[in-house]
Structure formats: structure tokens, C-alpha cells
Amino acid sequence: HGHDSTIHLALEDKSGDSAIIEYIDGTPKIHQGRQFTIMTNDPPYDDQLALLAKLDFSKPGQDTPVPGNISAPDRFQRAAYFSKFFPEPKNMQEAFATILAAIRGVSVPFGTPYTKLGDGFPVYNTEYRTVADLTHGIYGFELTTTPNFFWVEFSDFKPEKGQPALSLTPGAIDLAGDVSAQFKPAQPPF
């Protein structure tokens, strides 16, 4: 469509291998490895890592200065700080709760001024948050305009050739918990 891609994409597989993919000047740049698990939109990922390297989180405590602005670099550094101290979860509920607590702590709230920070893009509010349990095939979703968190268990779906596409409207106020059975047949989008 005549536009260079500016996408930032985070991927992870069941083995724990992960990658952050971003496009810089129309060329994909890939950071692959288990250590690459946090991402915000800009500046470029190498710049984010350089900014993070300047911080000392070796002796964490209530006096540890953690960046608190809504800028992407501050949110990246806050997420990195939080992730260093995640407890080992005992179950999916604990895992999702831990991740969501950190994600909510770095999300941009509604009403935040949409101003351009430095030379980057304007900062917009966070519209949704997602978490995934790749081991068990569970995908969680939270739309920031509703007070609910829900998830889908992919093991409940048995796709076969010729079956209709399924959809779910994420903004429905009554969605909470496991919504796997609430998907309805829909026209494929293309």
C-alpha cells in the first residue's frame, strides 16, 4: 500500500526461544534468544537495550529509581525491572496474574496527553493486553475498555477443513474467564 512497515513483533515458541522483530528503514532487524522478552514501540531495540544497560537493578528496593514516565523507553525499563523479580508461578492463574500486574504497570492510561515525545511517535493509550501459556495452548486477553479478563483454550478447538471461521467480539461486557465455547461462526475476513 505504499507504506514502509514499522511493526514491532514479539514471538516466542514452546521451547522458550523468543525473538523481537522490528523494521528499521524498511529492513527487518531480529533479536533472537530467550533474553529478548520485553518490547515497546520505539526507539529502536538496540537503543532500548543501551538505555537499559545504564540502569543498576542489582540491589533492588523501595529506593531503587525506576523510570516512571509514559514514554516507551521508560515503560520498557519499568517492564524489564518488574520482570527480573517475577516469582515462579505454581499455576496458570498465578502466571497470568504476575504478567498482567507488570503489563498494567507499564500501560498508558486513557486520558494521557497524546503528545509527541522527542523525535518519536505520539504516545497513545494502551488498548489491550494479552498473555499466552504456550505450554498449554491458552491465550488471555484484556480489553482496556472493559473490566474483564478472559481466555481461550485452544485445545477446545478441533479445526477441520471446511469448518466455518469462528469469531468473538472482545468488547462484550459479559466476557470473563474461559470463553472458548462462546465463539460463533463468522464470515472469513478475506
Residue 74 belongs to some domain of the structure: no
Determine the average pLDDT of the residues in 85-96. 93
Q: Residue 25's pLDDT is what?
A: 84
Residue 175 belongs to some domain of the structure: yes
Determine the average pLDDT of the residues in 174-182. 96
Q: What DSSP line would sit under the chain, residue for residue? A: -------EEEEE-TTS-EEEEEEETTEEEEEESTT-----SSS-HHHHHHHHHT---SS-STTS----SSSHHHHHHHHHHHHTTPPPPSSHHHHHHHHHHHHHHHSPPTT----B-TTSPBP----EEEEEETTTTEEEEEETTSS--EEEEGGG----TTPPEEE--TT-TT--EE-GGG-EEE----
Q: Residue 22's pLDDT is what?
A: 92
CB 22 within 8 A of CB 44: yes
Residue 67 belongs to some domain of the structure: no
Residue 58 belongs to some domain of the structure: no
How many independent structural domains does the chain possess? Answer: 2
Q: Residue 115's pLDDT is what?
A: 66
Residue 99 belongs to some domain of the structure: no
pTM of the model: 0.83
pLDDT digits (tens, 9 = 90+) for 105-151: 999 988 787 666 566 566 788 999 999 999 999 999 999 989 999 99
Range of the domain at 11: 1-37
